[in-house]
Chain A
Amino acid sequence: MARTISYREAINEALAQEMERDPSVVVMGEDNAGGAGSPGDDDAWGGVLGVTKGLYHKFPGRVLDTPISGSAFIGAAVGAATAGLRPVAELMFIDFMGVCFDQIYNQAAKFRYMFGGKAVTPVVIRTMYGAGLNAAAQHSQCLYPIFTHIPGLKVVLPSSPYEAKGLLIQSIRDDDPVIFCEHKALYDTTGEVPEDSYTIPFGEANVVRDGDDVTIVALGRMVSVAEQAAAGLARQGVEAEIIDPRTTSPLDADTILESVENTGRLVVVDQATPRCGMACDISALVAQEAFGALRAPIEMVTAPHTPVPFAQSLEALYIPDAQKVANAVKKTMDWKK
């Protein structure tokens, strides 16, 4: 039965159900149990945003507080995965990937390939990304394109509580290293989530909204922004089809291409900075594979090529919003040769 819970609760429930099902699943990260010296009481933090709250008592010995050393505990998680565990490590902010990137891109991502298909590294790295909470330039970035760039990694961007639970369970069961990217502005959002365990397969995009006039591909938190824009556009007689790719690696190219073949117009909405990002990647895909179907140039709505500003007024300008998406859609609708 489905009930309304938050994105945070959906992730917690996915972890609890998988830990219940499979004793090899362990959780580790800074303050995941409750902080150094804490007995992990139920009122303890459960990570900086409370995502792992309550798991410590339910699963004794399987929720580990780690030192503030991404390099050490991400390395430990990767090593534990090669030795038979299914670790879910919480890298507090995606912005901190720099201190543990070797363990991810040059170790975890390469084991399968370099050991001739003999190694499995079923590690999940949960990490928080994105702007909107006034967390400034070092705690607000959308760095998933960097992970998407690396062959051997799978990259997941859940856009709602339902997506978060199903995609996290899939991530834990997957035998490849998975970077599970949680947008920090989504933790308190709520939605209907089934109580029972379920998985959402990787590489299968979700068509969030049907429409014949324009295809909007939106990533992570931008899905709800696209929905908001589409509601306004519908009142003006423009029906947008919204596609949530769910995973950037693997990417469901077919669903995007089929949609553009029908609508003839594409707007990609991504909160990441524009150079070498998913907006460019998806635009290139469509330009190459569906060029004949395009009735207007592709539009990209992204952050500008700058760090995330601290000033709230600037951060609001930085993040793509429904108005910017609607403007981009109108540009494709009004375009004349």
Chain B
Amino acid sequence: MARARESLDCLKRFREHVTAAGFLEPSALDAINIEVADLIQAAVADAKQAPVPTAADLSTDVYVSY
């Protein structure tokens, strides 16, 4: 399983492929990783401090209009 994670992980392989081919600089990929991690962290923090949803929220965002 560890070997599979090391050699088959599609994100790792994508990184190797696009950097080896010269499509993207490793620094650009690192920047994306940092941006995404920050976004997730902020979203989790927001969700944790947000009020608990109420019954009215059960039907929120199911349709645009209904």
Contact = CB atoms under 8 A, between A and B. Distances in A.
B1 A304 contact: no
Contacts of A305: 59, 62
Interface string B46-66: 000000110101110010000
B4 interface: yes
A304 B57 CA distance: 12
Majority secondary structure, B binding face: helix
A307 B4 contact: no
B58 A309 contact: yes
Contacts, number: 27
B58 A306 contact: yes
Contacts of B53: 309, 311, 313-314
A304 B52 contact: no
A187 interface: no
Contacts of B1: 35, 37
B62 A306 contact: yes
Given A309-B53, A313-B52, A304 B4 contact: no
Contact of B55 (A36, A307, A317): A317
A202 interface: no
Interface string A290-332: 0000000000000011110101011001100000000000000
Contacts of A309: 53, 57-58
Q: How large is the interface on A (under 10, 10 to 19, 20 to 34, 35 or more residues)?
A: 10 to 19
B66 to A, nearest CB: 9
On chain B, which size bracket covers the interface? under 10
B30 to A, nearest CB: 30
Contacts of B4: 36-37
Nearest to A311: B53
A139 to B, nearest CB: 18
Given A37-B1, A37-B4, A306 B52 contact: no
Contacts of A304: 58-59
A139 B59 CA distance: 18
Contacts of A37: 1, 4
A234 to B, nearest CB: 29
A304 B52 CA distance: 19
Nearest to B55: A317
A307 B59 CA distance: 9
A305 B57 CA distance: 13
A317 B55 CA distance: 7
A306 B62 CA distance: 6
A311 B52 contact: yes
Interface of B: 1, 4, 52-53, 55, 57-59, 62
Interface of A: 35-37, 304-307, 309, 311, 313-314, 317-318
Given A304-B59, A317-B58, 20 more contacts: A35-B1, A37-B4, A304-B58, A305-B59, A305-B62, A306-B58, A306-B62, A307-B62, A309-B53, A309-B57, A309-B58, A311-B52, A311-B53, A311-B57, A314-B53, A314-B55, A314-B57, A314-B58, A317-B55, A318-B58
By Cβ-Cβ distance, the 8 closest A-B pairs, closest first, are: A311-B53, A306-B62, A313-B52, A314-B53, A306-B59, A317-B55, A306-B58, A314-B58
